Amino acid sequence: MKTAKLASLAKVVRSKNAGVDKITFDIIFADRGTYERAVRSGAITRAAVARLYGIPEARISDFVTFDPACAIKFTLYRDRPSGSPGDPDIFGAQQYAPLLDLEVPID
Amino acid sequence: MTGKTLRFLVPNGHLGFAPLQPRSFELGVAARPDFIVSDSGSDDIGPGPLGSDACASPQEWQRHDLEHILLACRTLGVPMLIGSAGDTGANSRVDLYVEMIREIAARHRLAPFRLGYFYSEVSPELVRERIEAGERVAGLNGRADLTLEDLARTDRIVALAGIHPYNTLLDMGADVIIGGRSSDLAICAGPAVRAGFPDALAYYLGKVLECASFCAEPYGAKESVIGEISMEDVKVTAMHPDQRCTVASVAAHAMYERATPFVEHALGGELDMRHCRYEQFDPRTTRITGPKWRPAAELRVKLEGAGKVGERYIGIAGVRDPYTIANIDRVIEWARRAVEARCGRTGYELHYQVFGRNGVMGDLEPVRTPAHELGIVVHGVAPDRATAEEVCMIGTRQLFYARLPDVKGTAGGVAFPLDEVVRASAAYRWTVNHTLRVRDPLELFPLRLVDVGAPTETAGRR
């Protein structure tokens, strides 16, 4: 089966704080066709994200598809509130990078 | 009220954090809006500013934006609303903005106007009494209910106001309002609700405009947008000539910095955006219909609180030896033991951030192969400055002396770009992210109204 990296399919892949206890991830596609194929592929799911980040699924508070924006969105609980001593990313802005290499079936 | 509309100009989504862009703002002012509003708060900046009662933004940029907005509003004769003054919305930040408004008005010899403001701080004492009386201070985002221990670790608490203090101050005749901490959407939703527009559209208007041009494309922050509400819809238009509010950009904004794109909470209810419909109205304008507003059965106000963990020093070390890189955990363990031998096991925090391995993502990092060189940032935190410095110094310098059995380089195990540790800002923690029941949506938010520019100022109270 032919696959493509998510970085080549999505227009936006980003992460950011959602309040002080969560980090949220947005994967936005430029067109509806690519978005729908990515959703149908089954490669981007709660389980796949948990596996990629090495976390239990219970740490994912929300996982939704959002048709009006052609987007897949999920949110993680932080291991400590943003900006606490030892938090490496106060804004949560650099946590999306592993998603870029996710292989998505495109047939 | 068929045919009636209200138009809001929003030049900045976090006033002061970076200055507004004057060109699109002037285009927005020329369109003669009914209100100019901007929120100035964020909890993105970490717990430090709230805990230490400081701003994250430079005063020069705050004054810059307040001056642009105040002069435009007084020229047009329309109200100005600023939410969550000075990043945190703490009382001292409200006073700071009030002082800036007076100073700008005096410098420009503005004709007299009425300045309303309100405070949002909640004393930890009040929260303690409520907990002791058996009241639940309910945790958000998976947190347990607030305990007296959490409270003892808290230096400052602010409550997030809804639309109510803004609307009451408008009723009292305020021309300019400086708000304490409040929900981002309150500054647009308030006047729209007050004018009789449907709650659902009013709150949606506030939500979509909260970050100014973040609802437009291509990406460009701090540009002005105008939102218009009618009895039937909301329309948002980008003011920068090269930006457009598209179906995709407006819909995508609902996701930004939120756990879900479907629901937004505020004091008094929640906005449901599941059934929003988006249409391209003209090349730069998107029209939205279909949001819903569900009033809350019980009024619960969100509290944010921060407390000091301690004074903080940081040290920096580099590693290039591949054997040392492969055994970096043993090196760090050596240094931790040395700190324990001197300072004990508790009473401080010592964190090692290892760039080149997982310095950015910590435990979320899936890549297990380290780079050819590592950079280690050592964070030492303790109640007093001397201990923090000592913890950090031992924790950094002992990386140099770690004893690995097969290391070839026996003259020093790490590289130091500085042979010292550096004092950083004090460390704080978000200790409160909870909700408190209130009877009256105004009860935690004392209001003030003063005349500015008049020979004598009379203070008023609700």
Rounded Cα distance, B439 and B121, in Å: 17
Report whether CATH 3.30.70 matches the domain A9-80+92-97.
yes
Contact B313, B393 (CB under 8 A): yes
Among candidates B43, B366, B433 on the partner chain, residue whose Cβ is nearest the Cβ of A52: B366
Total-model pTM: 0.94
Q: Mutation test of the interface with chain A: which of B14, B44, B183, B358, choosing the one with the most A Cβ atoms within 10 A?
A: B44
- Strands ordered across the beta sheet of A60-66: A10-17, A22-29, A71-77, A60-66
Rounded Cα distance, B182 and B165, in Å: 9
Q: How far from B449 is each of A69, B109, B117, B166, CA to CA, in Å?
A: 43, 20, 6, 12
Please give the single-letter amino acid code of residue B371. A
Q: What is the largest CA-CA distance in chain A?
A: 46
> CA torsion sign, B269 to B271 to B272 to B276?
positive
φ, ψ for residue B414, nearest 5 deg: -140, 165
Contact B227, B188 (CB under 8 A): yes
φ, ψ for residue B433, nearest 5 deg: -145, 80
Residues from chain B contacting residue A73 (CB–CB below 8 Å): 255, 260-261
Q: Give yes or no for residue B1 having a pLDDT over 50.
A: no
pLDDT for res B452: 97
The separation between the first and the last C-alpha atoms of chain A, rounded to the nearest angstrom, is: 7
Nearest to B130 by CA among B145, B115, B119: B145
Minimal C-alpha gap between B94 and chain A (Å): 22
Q: Mutation test of the interface with chain B: which of A73, A74, A96, choosing the one with the most B Cβ atoms within 10 A?
A: A73
Give residue-wise pLDDT tens across range A25-68: 999 999 999 999 999 999 999 999 999 999 999 999 999 999 99
Among candidates B141, B349, B366 on the partner chain, residue whose Cβ is nearest the Cβ of A86: B349
Structure tokens at B339: 């700190």
CB pairs under 8 A between A and B: 139
| pLDDT band per the 50, 70, 90 thresholds, residue B3 | confident
Residues from chain A contacting residue B348 (CB–CB below 8 Å): none
Contact B11, B69 (CB under 8 A): yes
Q: Give yes or no for residue B454 having a pLDDT over 90.
A: no
The pLDDT of A11-19, averaged and rounded, is 96
Average model confidence (pLDDT) across chain A: 96
Nearest to A90 by CA among B11, B368, B430, B400: B430
pLDDT for res B457: 46
Among candidates A26, A54, A85 on the partner chain, residue whose Cβ is nearest the Cβ of B351: A85
Contact B40, B15 (CB under 8 A): yes
Q: Mutation test of the interface with chain A: which of B260, B288, B425, choosing the one with the most A Cβ atoms within 10 A?
A: B260
Contact B80, B176 (CB under 8 A): yes
Q: Give yes or no for residue B95 having a pLDDT over 50.
A: yes
Are B259 and A68 an interchain contact pair (Cβ–Cβ within 8 Å)? no
Minimal C-alpha gap between B458 and chain A (Å): 39
Nearest to B213 by CA among B412, B437, B14, B33: B14
The pLDDT of A74-81, averaged and rounded, is 97
- Using the Cβ of B141 and the Cβ atoms of chain A, whether some distance falls under 8 Å is answered with yes
Asked if the peptide bond before residue B218 counts as cis, ω within 30 degrees of 0, the response is yes
Among candidates A24, A28, A90 on the partner chain, residue whose Cβ is nearest the Cβ of B258: A24
Residue B456 φ/ψ region, left for φ over 0, alpha for ψ in the -120 to 50 degree band, beta for the rest = beta
Among candidates B255, B349, B362 on the partner chain, residue whose Cβ is nearest the Cβ of A26: B255
Give residue-wise pLDDT tens across range B204-249: 999 999 999 999 999 888 999 999 999 999 999 999 999 999 999 9
Average model confidence (pLDDT) across chain B: 95
The pLDDT of B333-344, averaged and rounded, is 98
The separation between the first and the last C-alpha atoms of chain B, rounded to the nearest angstrom, is: 30
